[in-house]
Amino acid sequence: MIDTLRLTAEEAAGLLERGEVSGKDLARAYTEAIEARDDEVHAYLRVTGESGEGVPIALKDCITTKGVETTAGSRILEGYVPVFDSTVAARCKEAGLPLLGKTNMDEFAMGSSTENSAFGPSRNPWDPERVPGGSSGGSAAAVAAGLAPWALGSDTGGSIKQPAALCGVVGLRPTYGTVSRYGIVAFASSLDQVGPITKTIRDNALLYRLIGGRDPCDSTTVELSEPVAIPDAEDLKGVRIGIPKELNETEGIAPGVSEVVQASIRLAEELGAEVGETRLPRSVEYGLSCYYLIAPAEASSNLARYDGVRYGHRAEVDGDLTALYERTRWEGFGAEPKRRIMLGTYALSAGYYEAYYGQAQKVRTVIKDEFAAAFEDFDVLVSPTSPTVAFKIGEKAENPLAMYLSDVLTIPPNMAGLPGLSIPCGLSEGLPVGLQLIGPQFSENLLFRVGHALERVLGFDYVPERLR
Amino acid sequence: MAITREDVLHVAKLARLEIPEAEIDGVRDQLGAILEAVGKVGELDLSDVEPTSHPLDLVNVWGEDEPRPSLPREEALKNAPDPADGAFRVPAVGQ
């Protein structure tokens, strides 16, 4: 009997390698778990249930899969069956990882709860009345509920780190440029990155190793500066950990979340890390505003392609081509993409460009420089991943600005193109709390090392209490 | 700076969105609230700061100019809402 709630991807690979379990039996264990639990969790938009030689994987629905419907959580792409594979899907295929299914997400990755999915929200496996976070909430919920051994998500403002935190699993947003965006449904191209969501740090490193590296189809990718090391460190001797004051004390961080994060920082100190305080004064105060100008501006351009001509939804109209575009787009997009398209269009329009988009790009330089200064004294920076634990479904759905604040701690490092790892570090109110580890560009190996050493001493049980 | 109904209609036109009359005021209020919040970036004097458009310092990534197989026509048309004569059919441009 395979316990999918407990089994890590690394353990699953071991079972396959030693011939103790067949690929078919392994995939069946997951499809049975999906049948048993996904009516409640709704992690998947569609289940393919393939089996093969490797450890099966779930992919977020913005990851293009040849022959398998890919909607990015939007009605405008309902029924779209891609004729090509994204590079990450192709790399999973080449490594023999069969596709379990496509996971739910906020429409076009715009959201922090999956409530913006056109196909209904996913639910948090720790408490089904609560959101799993977003936008990669389906992938995080699938891993937490034992409905996939591992999964891929995508992260623009925090869409891997925040749902990983809220579901009690590990999520890596890699350095910008290390994972190909070819075939990823685009939201904001200077920020979008694909990354792994897993139960353990070692699983995360194994999956990152498989998807990372330069891709000729995406000229913004680079070769990894060093091979991915699967971590086994037990101490943190010689690691300098900085606590950026603003990223740990900004308004809105729940006291329960702070307590758990501070306790894990003390553990890091016991493991030999040198801990000190640092500052990111303007990155936190201006990061959210900067992001909500740059990301919508890029989105307004990227989402111009949905025109009802070549693929996706087309409205019935009597008028001319412009009328077709306008009605198709109003009908096909949900409220949040429309809001962001209009916001971005406004920020880029004549007369406002300099004050909004141009100014935001300069703020981005300020953020980059502040992080660079902090990394002169520290190797890794830490903070809570999300200011709160998982919130109730519906709690923020009607208030976009309140929802945007869910990413206030993940956005600043993203603006600087930095990698971030969220690891579960304890419970508050019976719900998981995530610790965000931020490193300089291309420091994934160090993040894995620190994460792994902490994971061992934290002893966090990733199986949701109600499912044990 | 308050955003007006005319601004909303102008932006919707630029973005090719057919906004129904009944929704204009609601969209104006929401966009107004968000713009007021993000307008915070204007507080900083950044006249001497260079803008960042991309997180990595990459310049000129060159590739060989080699022909590669492209998508066959029938594949490219597979998801088309209204394919005709090996092309995408659309209503008249400008009526």
- In CATH, what number is assigned to the domain containing residue A394? 3.90.1300.10
Smallest Cα distance from B14 to chain A, Å = 7
Of A349, A342, A346, A432, which is closest to residue A384 (Cα–Cα)? Answer: A432
Cβ neighbors of A180 (< 8 A, separation 6 or more) are A86, A87, A88, A194, A211, A215, A217, A218, A221
The angle subtended at Cα A178 by Cα A172 and Cα A182, nearest 5°, is 105
Encode pLDDT of B30-71 as tens digits: 999 999 999 999 999 999 999 999 888 878 888 889 998 899
| Residue A446, domain member (yes or no) | yes
Domain-embedded: residue A453 = yes
Q: Given this model, what pLDDT does residue B1 score?
A: 59
What's the pTM? 0.98
Selection from A292, A290, A262, A204 nearest residue A382 by Cα:
A262
Distance, in Å, from the CA atom of A341 to the CA atom of A308, rounded to the nearest integer, reads 17
Question: Are the beta carbons of A72 and A114 closer than 8 angstroms?
Answer: no
A91 inside 8 A of chain B by CB: no
Asked if the structure places residue A296 within a domain, the reply is no
d(CA A160, CA A109): 10
- What's the CA gap between A291 and B7, in Å, rounded? 22
Asked if the structure places residue A359 within a domain, the reply is no
Q: Enumerate helices (H) and strands (E) in chain B, giving the number of each.
A: 3, 2
Closest to A180 (Cα-Cα) out of A234, A154, A217:
A217
Per-residue pLDDT of chain A (468 residues; tens, 9 = 90+): 899 999 999 999 999 999 999 999 999 999 999 999 999 999 999 999 898 999 999 999 999 999 999 999 999 999 999 999 999 999 999 999 999 999 999 999 999 999 999 999 999 999 999 999 999 999 999 999 999 999 999 999 999 999 999 999 999 999 999 999 999 999 999 999 999 999 999 999 999 999 999 999 999 999 999 999 999 989 999 999 999 999 999 999 999 999 999 999 999 999 999 999 999 999 999 999 999 999 999 999 999 999 999 999 999 999 999 999 999 999 999 999 999 999 999 999 999 999 999 999 999 999 999 999 999 999 999 999 999 999 999 999 989 999 999 999 999 999 999 999 999 999 999 999 999 999 999 999 999 999 999 999 999 999 999 999
Give the three-state DSSP class for A433. Answer: strand
Parent domain of A271: 9-279+367-467
Cβ–Cβ of A309/B80 closer than 8 Å?
yes
- Cα distances from A219 to residues A451, B63, B81, in angstroms, run 30, 9, 31
Rounded distance between C-alpha atoms, residue B44 and residue B50, angstroms: 14
Residue A199's nearest CA partner among A26, A11, A68, A14 is: A11
Strand A274-278 with A240-244, pairing: parallel
Q: Are A325 and A307 in contact (CB under 8 A)?
A: yes
In a domain, A351, yes or no: no
A55 inside domain: yes
Query: What is chain A's mean pLDDT, rounded?
Result: 97
Segments of chain B assigned E as strands: 83-84, 87-88
Q: Is A258 a catalytic residue?
A: no
Domain presence at residue A318: no
- Given A51, A117, A122, A135, the catalytic residue: A135
Please tell me which of the candidates B12, B30, B95 has its beta carbon nearest to residue A320: B95
In A279-298, the residues whose Cβ lies within 8 Å of chain B are 282, 285-286, 288-290, 292-293
Tell me the C-alpha distance between A219 and B54, whole Å.
13
Cβ pair B57, A368 in contact under 8 A: no
State how beta strands A431-438 and A420-428 pair: antiparallel
In a domain, A218, yes or no: yes
Catalytic: A180? no
